[in-house]
Structure 1
C-alpha cells in the first residue's frame, strides 16, 4: 500500500496543467532515455522501417530488465513526436503485459491517446471501464478537456458541465486545469456571465490563476469589447501572465473597435515580440486593416521563411494588399509566388484577385483569370465562390461564355465543376434557359449524383415547355444503359412516339442496344422495320447491335441478310460484333468465314490451326463432325493471309506465307502479291526483294508485278 501511494505521489509530480496532457517532465525523459540508448536506437530504427515497436520491446524484454518508467517514457516520446497510434500500441502492450502497477496518470495518458486515435466515443467507453477508485483528477481533467474542446452543441456542453459538477462533488477542483477547460468552453460560446462565474469560483476556492486562465478571460473581455475590465484584469495578473498571440490579436481588435488606434498598434507590436510564426497570418490581416502597407510586407518576409507558410498566409497577404489598394502587389504575389508554389489549389485565392480586378474596373483580366481558374484540374474545392464573383457584374455576363465554360469542363471530364456551373446558371435566373441547358444539367446530374437525382430533376425542375426531343432522348439514354430500367426506357420511348419525337435515329439506337444486350430478337426486328417505315437510315451502331443479336442466336441466314442490305454503306462494325459473328460461323463449321470476319488476330491464328488439320490427323472430329478435309488449297491461304493483313498482323501473315507450298501445276501469284502489296504500301522496298519465294515465282507475270 505504501508502495502504491509512493508511485501515485511520484507520478503526480510530473503532471502539468496546460491544455495538452503530459505525463513526464522533460528532465525525467532525458534520464529515462539516456539510461538505455540501445533500446531507444532500436525503436527509432523500427519506426524508420515501419516495423512493429512491440516486436522490439518483446525481444528486448527477453534478455533485459524492462523498467516501467522507461515504458512510460516511450509512450510519452511517441506522443510528443505525434506518433499517437504507436504510443497507443505501446500503452496497450504495457497494460496487457502488466509491466507496471497502473496509477491514475497511466489511465489519463491512455484516455488521451484513445480519444485522439479512436475517437471520443471509444475514449468514453474506456473511461467507464476504469474502477471509480482509480479515476483520479488527471483522468477527469482529460475527460473534461475533451468535452470542452469538442463542444459544438448542447450534448457536449451538458457532458462538460456534468463532468465539472462531478469533479466539484469529488473535491477534485483544486487546480486551474478544469477551470481553464470551462473558461475556454464558455468563451467559445460567448457566454460572458459563465466566465465571470468560473473566475469567482476559482477565487472562492483559493485556486491560483495561471497564465492560461488570464489569457482565456482576456479573450472573452476583448470579444465583447469591455476595454475597462480587460485592462484592469491584465493589470491585476500581469505578474503571472505570458500573453499568447491569439490574446494580443483579440485585444488589438477590441482597441480598433473602440477607436484606440495607438493602443491597437501597441498590441500588434507586442504580438510581434512573441515571435510566434503562427501569429504572422493574423498580423498581416490586422496591419492591412490598419493601413500599414510596409508592415504587411515586413511580416510577409518573416512569414514566408517559416514552416508555417501555407495557403492561409497567401490569403492573408493578398487580402491585405487589396484592402490597401495595392493591386499590382497582389497580382505579383499571385502569379510569381503562389502559382509557382506546390500548395493545394485553393479557389479562395484567385477569387480574391478576381474581386480585386473587378473593383478596379479591370473586367477583362478578371474574366481571363476566372475562366482559367475554373478550368484548372488542380481545383478540387467547390467553384461557387468564383461563380458568385462572376455574377457580380450581371450586365456584362454573357450566356454564351457560361455555356462554353460548362462545355469545356465537361470535355475535360471535370463533371462536378461543370454541374456546379450548370446549377448556378439555372439558379441565378439572369437570362433565359433553353432545352439544351436542361439537357446538359440532366446529363451532369446523372453522372455526378446518380440516376435517381436525374429523374427527380426531370420531373420537378424542367418546365413542360422545355421538355423537347433532346431532353427526352437524354433521359432515354440514361434508362437504356441498364436492363434494370427496361420498363422505364420503354415508357419513355412510347411517350416520345406520342409526342412525335421518333424521327431521328438516336432513340432507336438506344432501344436496339438495350434489346440487343437482353437477346430480344423480335423487339430488335420490329424496331428495324419501324426505322424502314420512317426512312431512318442505320449507322454503324445500329448495324453492330442488330448483327450481334442474330450472331448470338447463330441465325446466320438473317445475319447475312442484314449484312447484305447494309453492305454498300461501308461502315465499320464494332469488334465485339465481328467476334460474335465469327463465333456464329465457327459454330456452324464455316471456319474460313470465321477467319475472314473476326476482329482478333489471335482468333484468326486459333481458327487457322483448327482449319489446317489434315485428313491424316483427323479423319472425323467427334466434337465437330463437319471437319472432313484432305488438303488446304491456295484459296484458304489467301484468305488467312488477307485476314491477318487486314488486322495489321504482318508478322503473322509472313509466318503463314512461310507455311505455304504452291498447289497444282500453275503457280498462284495472288498469295505473294498480298504481302508485296502491303510492303509497297509501307514503302518497304527492301522487304519486297527479300520475300522468301520459290524460284518459279519469277515467271513473267509475277516479275512484271514486282518490277512496277
Structure 2
C-alpha cells in the first residue's frame, strides 16, 4: 500500500487527515484563476458508512449544503470525418487549455476501455493492423454505413469481434461517433453475435454522444437487467462528467453505490474530471474518499492531478506529484509527458518544456513518428521555428493527417503563413475527401494574423468544396466575423450552427459573440446569447456569468436577481466575481443613499 501523509490547503489551515503523498501535494488556493470556490461538500449518509457527493447551494458566507439544481445539461449529436474535431485537445496549444475547455480529452480512456476493458468485460484483443472494415465504412457517405456493411456481408466477409473492435477503435479515435453508432445499430438488427455488457455499454456511450444523454438514459431502460452492470453505469457517469453536469454526475455516482458496485478508481477519476472544471475545492473530497477506500491512484488519476496543477500554474506542486509517481514506480506515458511539457510551456519555463520534449522524441524521431504531432504543437507555442522546421522535414515526405494539421497551426505560431498554406494545399492533394477541419485550422492561422480577406476567401472555398461544416469550423468563422467587427453576421452564423442537428457548437463560439456584446454594454443581446448557451447544454459556466455581469457593469445597469440566478445554477463567486457583483448591485450604498437614509 502507498505511503500516507496529509493534505494541505493554501487557503485554509484545515487538516483533512491522512492522505497519499500525491494527494498532499494538491494544494487548492483560494484565489484560483478558473472555476468556482466553495467549501467541502461531502455529506455522510447516516444510514451508511459511505460518503455521498452532493453539490453545494449558494452561500458566500456559510458552509450550508443542499442538493444541486435540477438543470439538465443536454448534449447535441456530433460527427466528424477526421481526427481533429470540436476543440480536440491533442492539437491545442498550451494557451488554449483552460478550465472552460469544451473538450479536454477526458473520455479517451473511458472510450477505449469499452473496447479493451481489462478484467471486467471480457478478453477481447484488438489487433494493431489497420481495419479493413473501418476502411469500408469510411468509404461511403456518413448516412450509408448500413449499405457498406451489407456489401461487406454480400462479398462473403465475416464480421467477428476482433474485426468489429478494430473498426470501432478506428472510428472512436477519429471521433466519428455517428458512424460508430450506425454500425452498432446494424449489428443489433442483424444479430451477428450475442451481445455482452460491453456491447450495451459501447452503444450507450455512442447514443449519449450523438443523440444526447437523455436518450442515453432512456436506452439504459431497454438493456436487459442481467447486462445492466457496473460498466454500463460507469459509461453513463463518464459522459455526464464530460458535460460538466454536476447534479447528474453525482446522482449516477451515488446510484452506483446504492446498486452495490464497488468503488473504483475509474469512477473517482470521473469525479476529479468534473470538479477540475466546476469546483476545484471538492477535489480534496474525492482524494479523501480514495484514501479511505484504499484506492491506489491510476496513471490516469496522476494525469488529471498534473493537469489540475498546470491549470493552477502550480509547477512546484506538479513536480511534487511527478516525484510521488516516480517513488510509486508509475511510469509516464506519452500523454502525461505531453501534459507536463504543455504546463511548463504555459508557465514560461521553456528549458524544462524542451527537456521533456527531447525525452518524448527519444533517440530517433523517425522511429518515434507518433510523437511528432505533440512536438509540432508545443514547439510552435514556444515559437521554436528551428524545431518546427526540423520536425516537419521528417514528416513532409510522407505526412500523416494529424501531423499535417498540427504543422499548419505550428507554422502559424512562428509566423510562417506561407508554409502553413503549402501544407494545407498538400492535404487537399492527399487523394481522399477533405474534412472541413482542414480548412478550420488554416482559418485559425488567418484569424490570428488578422488576414481577414484571406479568411473570407477560404470560407468560400470551403463552401464550394461541398464539405460539411463541423463545430471547429463554425467557431473559426464566428471568430472571424467578430474580429472584423461584424458581430451581427457572427451571431447569424452562431444561430445556424445551433440549429444544425449534426454538431454542437463550442462554448467558445457563444463566448466570441457574447464578449463583443459585453464590450458594447449591450445587456439585451448578452442575455440572449447567455440563454442560447444554456439551451445548447453549457450549464453552470463560471466564465459565462463573468461576462454577463460585466455587461451590466459596462452598461451601468443594475443586475436585478443575479444572485438568485447564480444560486439556481450553483455558481459560487471568487473574489473577482464578487467585486463584479458589487458593481452591478442595484441596492448598493452610495453617498447619496446614505443622505437619504
Pairwise TM-score range, normalised by the shorter structure: 0.3 to 0.5
Instruction: From the two aligned structures, give the one with the greater helix fraction.
Output: 1
TM, length-normalised to structure 1: 0.39
TM, length-normalised to structure 2: 0.46
Considering only CA atoms, is the larger Rg found in Structure 1 or Structure 2?
1
